Amino acid sequence: MKKNILIVIIFLMPFILCSQNTKNLDSLLLVYKNQSVGIKKINTAENIFINSRQTNPKLALEYLHKGVSLSKDLNFQEGLDQSYTNLGLYYVNYHNLDSLRFYFSKAKKSCLRNDNKMLLFKVLYRWAKAENLEGNFEKALDLNNNSIKIAYDLQNGLKLSDAHQQKATIFLDNGNYNNALRELILASKALDTLEKKSPLKEAIIKVGVGRTETLRNNYLEAIPNLEDGISIFENIGHEKWLAISYMELGNTYYSLKDYDNALLYYNKGLEISKDNKWNYFIAPYLENIGAVYLDTEKYDKALNNFFASNKISSKHGSINNQIIFFNDIASAYFGKKDYNNALKNYNKAIQIADSIGSLDNLSDNYKERAEVFEAIHNYKKATLDYKKHILLNDSIFDIAKTKQIDELKTQYETEKKEHQILLQNKEIDLLKQKEKNNNLQRLLLGIGFLLSIIGVYGVRQKLKRNRLEKEKLDNELAFKKKELTTHALHLAKKNEVLEGLKQKAKEFNASDNSQNGYQQLIRTINFDLKDDNNWENFTKYFQEVHKDFNSVVKQKFPEVTPNELRLMSLLKMNLSSKEIANILNISPAGIKKARYRLRKKLNINTDDSLQDLVLRL
């Protein structure tokens, strides 16, 4: 059975909160009580939140809301920005997605209104982290792209590097490894703009490159990058990043089936994590140690580690990690020939993977569940699962081809724009050199003026012409700078647009023939340019791509309503429930009900997939 390893989400780890000083908190509470209403009282409320968020969450939340009320009473906009941001961060820590979205949205609007770009960057950056942890990759990318724009506006190389690192992590979690590597290179270039180099940041990027190479199966290229990063972290005594890096190096050795070295680094990292009580590290370490035992057929040890891991990660882990957990439990039970428990856990893994549209995991889960059905001689269900596995693998292959095409386009466009910007930089340098020459010329003319009274009029005329020429050059220089900025912004925007087209290509290409892929991509672009929200245009385009779909549905299922046909059209495009909900402007719960009613009307068995039926039509 295939085994997945858990990977610590680097660049997205929450800050380690130190144990709080009770005396300090009591002192702050007393200060707050005796302070008169004013900005200092708002700052004290924030300090109470900082000192109590770990030990007394209820008290922390109470003083966050006090900070909001005081800021509103005093019309203190900066305090309101910070209070909404802190409320969002509070709910990030407690994994309350609805609440963190609510308060981060308020913080974003408040920061935009007050032109508080520094805090706006933090809001977008941390919000993107939370969305990525929930598997909402499109939303996370959108937020992160906006944080990159803010970092450019601030001309802050450190924040720009952080934002590109985070974008790399989103790409990694979404299986887009080439783009992840590109973002890490951009993060490294952003660090190069800093006057004072940061060994810590450079080491983090090295580990990120190592991790990416591991995921690309380039293990021998990964190891030197990881070892270089670890060496720096050991020198500066950074235990948090050592814990992360030992995990990554252990994963690389695990992939090479070098289980001794894998266990060596897993146990090193686990020891550091336990000493610091870092549960978000302990859980994946236990899971991956269990993976080693699973591969070496020590099933009871594997199960003990898996269950110990999930006891922690069910509270603090990502959805993707839950899929891996149930898959691993099922694999261990399969090894023990406990087929009932194996099926039970594969079913859970499939349910979660299907809900977030994780095609890679879903394909593997179907294949492995088929092996269980085969072992218990249920060949009919085994065959069905193998067919689903093959169908998903075909979709994944098509998506991979689209990614390759898009990445080549992105690379070409980026290089072309960068070349244009380089040429314009050279033009600006030439203009500056001209201006220097003119300054020298003006100096010489000034000397001539002092030495020769006879040539006064001629010198004045020359100075006048020179001043006009300088103004012309200054204007031309300013224009070139503006044009350069425009090109740079266009480059950033173009990358964002191309990223959007990649997502569109995923949706449309999942069920397209490779022969007409290019033409359909062009139709998609034209369609979006005309009207992205016009359902009539969508229907017309859909019928061009899937010519007989509507007639086949009506022929086979005459009782299907127009709304149900609309839902089936979106399912045919292999969209997730979340994407369909956004398009139809209804809640995810409403989509679930609609799918349930449609399954009932189409008389689909509980073991069969509505998505598979629609894709076959």
pLDDT per position as a tens digit, 181-216: 999 999 999 988 888 878 898 999 999 999 899 888
Answer yes or no: are the C-beta atoms of 505 and 524 closer than 8 Å: yes
Report in angstroms the alpha-carbon separations of 67 from 57, 62, 103.
15, 9, 14
Global pTM reads 0.50
- Rounded to a whole number, what is the distance in angstroms from the first to the last CA of the chain? 32
Task: Give me the CATH topology for the region 198-276.
Answer: 1.25.40
Average pLDDT over residues 508-512: 57
The residue among 20, 15, 66 whose CA lies nearest residue 42 is 66
High-pLDDT (> 70) share of the chain, %: 71
Average pLDDT, the chain: 78
Report in angstroms the alpha-carbon separations of 211 from 216, 226, 240, 255, 333.
9, 8, 16, 12, 30
DSSP string, 2-25: --------TT-PPPPPPPP-HHHH
Average pLDDT over residues 32-48: 91
Q: Name the residue with higher pLDDT: 466 or 86.
A: 86
The Cα 526–Cα 1 span in angstroms is: 45
pLDDT per position as a tens digit, 394-429: 777 666 555 555 555 555 455 555 555 555 555 555
DSSP string, 171-184: HHHTT-HHHHHHHH
Range list of H helices, 94-136: 97-113, 117-133
pLDDT for 346 equals 93
Burial class (CB in 10 A: 0-12, 13-18, 19+), 462: middle
Amino acid identity for residue 39 in this structure: I
DSSP string, 501-552: HHHHHHHHHTT--GGGHHHHHHHHHHHHHH-TT-HHHHHHHHHHHSTTHHHH
The Cα 209–Cα 225 span in angstroms is: 7
DSSP string, 552-594: HHHHH-TT--HHHHHHHHHHHTT--HHHHHHHHT--HHHHHHH
Does the pLDDT value for residue 491 go beyond 70? no
Burial class (CB in 10 A: 0-12, 13-18, 19+), 340: exposed
Average pLDDT over residues 320-344: 90
Q: Name the residue with higher pLDDT: 126 or 53.
A: 126
Max mean pLDDT range (199-203, 508-512, 571-575): 199-203
Answer yes or no: are the C-beta atoms of 60 and 92 closer than 8 Å: no
pLDDT band at residue 354 under the 50/70/90 scheme: confident
The Cα 385–Cα 439 span in angstroms is: 79
Answer yes or no: are the C-beta atoms of 403 and 175 closer than 8 Å: no
The residue among 343, 257, 183, 241 whose CA lies nearest residue 5 is 257
604: its two tokens: 């689909």
Amino acid identity for residue 115 in this structure: D
Average pLDDT over residues 445-472: 47
Angle at 25 between CA 23 and CA 30, to 5 degrees: 95
Answer yes or no: are the C-beta atoms of 188 and 194 closer than 8 Å: no
Does the pLDDT value for residue 609 go beyond 90? no
- Other C-beta atoms lying within 10 Å of the C-beta of residue 347: 14
pLDDT band at residue 555 under the 50/70/90 scheme: confident
Q: Name the residue with higher pLDDT: 132 or 316.
A: 132
The Cα 44–Cα 71 span in angstroms is: 12
CATH for the 531-616 domain, from 3.20.20.120, 1.10.1380.10, 1.10.10.10, 3.30.365.10 = 1.10.10.10
pLDDT for 321 equals 74
